[in-house]
């Protein structure tokens, strides 16, 4: 194990395969700056989790996720699993956006892979909050970690459509999925228990728990979120119509959707949530099965080059 090396985990399918041509310029950048680099391609779903966990457990000091938000999600889960097994793991993560999505880094005014790479060269590390989700549905409990957001109801439906029907739209795939779902919008029965208080039953088409401000590349869903305050922002709409939701969508870039009387927000440190009528959810751009969850915030749990 070369502890001075930057271990790069990349998804060859990111950006619909274009990453395989783009990645050479990234590797040349680090080579020019005398940073030893080792590239590891993922070979199957969740392989990034395995690679990151093994590298961190072996003493790697720097890992870079190269791709989109989904690649970062896998690498972060591997790092957090390694830290769960050994609290002494101190691996720092760099996220180099070469995929379709680049939501999380927008909170740090990072818009390109080169800006992110410069943070690694400068050894500019910030400790950021991480969300931990315990999924209670059978066949058994599973633990997932996220850095950007977890979404339920229409948020999850849009994510699944984005992957299955609209990948050709690139960064606008969520827009296409959202407008398709809007015309047949469903409302879900959701039970929320925040910060260990009494549970509350709501009817809403969607619910989101945000650690950072952006989702879907540039949608400013949660402008009040801070990635290092030990809290996350819960957002949902009550008694909201499809027309309301359409208008709220149009106001996302300005953040004015938070002023709508039917939009509810709350800062939370823990959340128990159960949703009826949907057996999957979205986490950092991936789809996972489940409808009953306990979520808590791990304050400043991940060293990030940012």
Q: Which tokens is 270 given?
A: 């823990």
117 pLDDT band (50/70/90 cuts)? very high
Over the stretch 164-207, which tens digit does the pLDDT of each residue have? Answer: 887 777 777 778 888 899 888 999 999 999 998 999 999 999 99
- The whole-angstrom separation of Cα 129 and Cα 136 is 23
Residue 273 has pLDDT above 70, yes or no: yes
CA neighbor of 151 nearest in space, from 299, 252, 251, 284? 284
Do the Cβ atoms of 280 and 287 come closer than 8 Å?
yes
- The whole-angstrom separation of Cα 199 and Cα 13 is 42
Establish how many alpha carbons lie within 13 A of residue 123's alpha carbon, considering only the half-sphere containing its beta carbon: 3
- In sign, the C-alpha dihedral spanning 143, 148, 149, 154 is negative
268 pLDDT band (50/70/90 cuts)? very high
75 pLDDT band (50/70/90 cuts)? very high
Do the Cβ atoms of 127 and 93 come closer than 8 Å?
no
Give the pLDDT confidence score for residue 102 in this predicted structure. 72
Residue 116 has pLDDT above 70, yes or no: yes
Average pLDDT of the chain to the nearest whole number: 91
> Which element (helix H / strand E) includes 126?
strand 125-135
* β-pair type (270-275, 206-210): unpaired
First to last CA, the chain: 25
CA neighbor of 214 nearest in space, from 101, 68, 129, 76? 101
Choose between 141 and 126: higher pLDDT: 126
Q: Which residues are within 8 A (CB) of 276 and not within 5 positions of it... i.e. 6 or more apart?
A: 188, 189, 190, 291
CATH of 6-123, one of 3.30.360.10, 3.40.50.10330, 2.60.40.10, 3.40.140.80: 3.40.50.10330
Give the pLDDT confidence score for residue 255 in this predicted structure. 82
Give the pLDDT confidence score for residue 95 in this predicted structure. 96
Backbone dihedral angles phi then psi of residue 146, each to the nearest 5 degrees: -145, 155
Residue 81 has pLDDT above 90, yes or no: yes
b vs e for 179-192, b when ≥16 Cβ sit within 10 Å of the residue's Cβ?
eebbeebebbebeb
Query: Would you identify the CATH topology of the domain 132-299?
Result: Tumour Suppressor Smad4 (2.60.200)
- The whole-angstrom separation of Cα 21 and Cα 12 is 10
> Which element (helix H / strand E) includes 93?
strand 92-97
Domain edges within the chain: 6-123, 132-299
Supply the pTM of this predicted model: 0.93
* β-pair type (200-204, 188-194): antiparallel
Over the stretch 220-263, which tens digit does the pLDDT of each residue have? Answer: 999 999 999 999 999 999 889 999 999 998 888 888 899 999 99
- The whole-angstrom separation of Cα 96 and Cα 206 is 30
Over the stretch 18-60, which tens digit does the pLDDT of each residue have? Answer: 788 789 999 999 999 999 999 999 999 899 999 999 999 999 9
* DSSP structural state of residue 211: S
């Amino acid at each position: 194990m070369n502890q001075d090396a930057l271990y790069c985990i990349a998804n060859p399918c990111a950006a619909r395969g274009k990453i395989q041509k783009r990645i050479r310029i990234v590797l040349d950048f680090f080579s020019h700056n005398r940073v030893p680099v080792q590239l590891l391609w993922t070979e199957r779903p969740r392989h990034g989790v395995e690679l990151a966990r093994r590298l961190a457990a072996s003493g790697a000091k720097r890992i870079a996720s190269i791709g989109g938000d989904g690649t970062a999600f896998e690498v972060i889960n591997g790092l957090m699993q390694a830290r769960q097994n050994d609290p002494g793991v101190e691996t720092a993560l760099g996220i180099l956006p070469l995929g379709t999505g680049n939501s999380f880094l927008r909170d740090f005014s990072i818009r390109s892979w080169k800006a992110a790479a410069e943070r690694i060269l400068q050894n500019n590390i910030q400790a950021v909050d991480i969300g931990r989700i315990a999924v209670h549905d059978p066949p058994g409990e599973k633990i997932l970690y996220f850095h950007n957001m977890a979404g339920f109801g229409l948020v999850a439906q849009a994510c699944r459509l984005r992957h299955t029907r609209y990948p050709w739209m690139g960064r606008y795939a969520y827009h296409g999925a959202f407008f398709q779902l809007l015309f047949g919008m469903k409302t879900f029965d959701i039970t929320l228990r925040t910060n260990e208080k009494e549970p509350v039953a709501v009817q809403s088409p969607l619910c989101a728990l945000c650690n950072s401000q952006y989702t879907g590349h540039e949608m400013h869903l949660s402008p009040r979120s801070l990635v290092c305050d030990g809290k996350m922002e819960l957002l949902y709409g009550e008694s909201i119509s499809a027309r309301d939701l359409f208008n709220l969508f149009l106001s996302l870039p300005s953040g004015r959707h938070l002023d709508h009387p039917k939009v509810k927000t709350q800062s939370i440190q823990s959340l128990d949530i159960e949703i009826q009528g949907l057996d999957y959810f979205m986490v950092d751009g991936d789809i996972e099965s489940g409808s009953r969850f306990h979520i808590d915030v791990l304050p400043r749990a991940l060293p990030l080059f940012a």
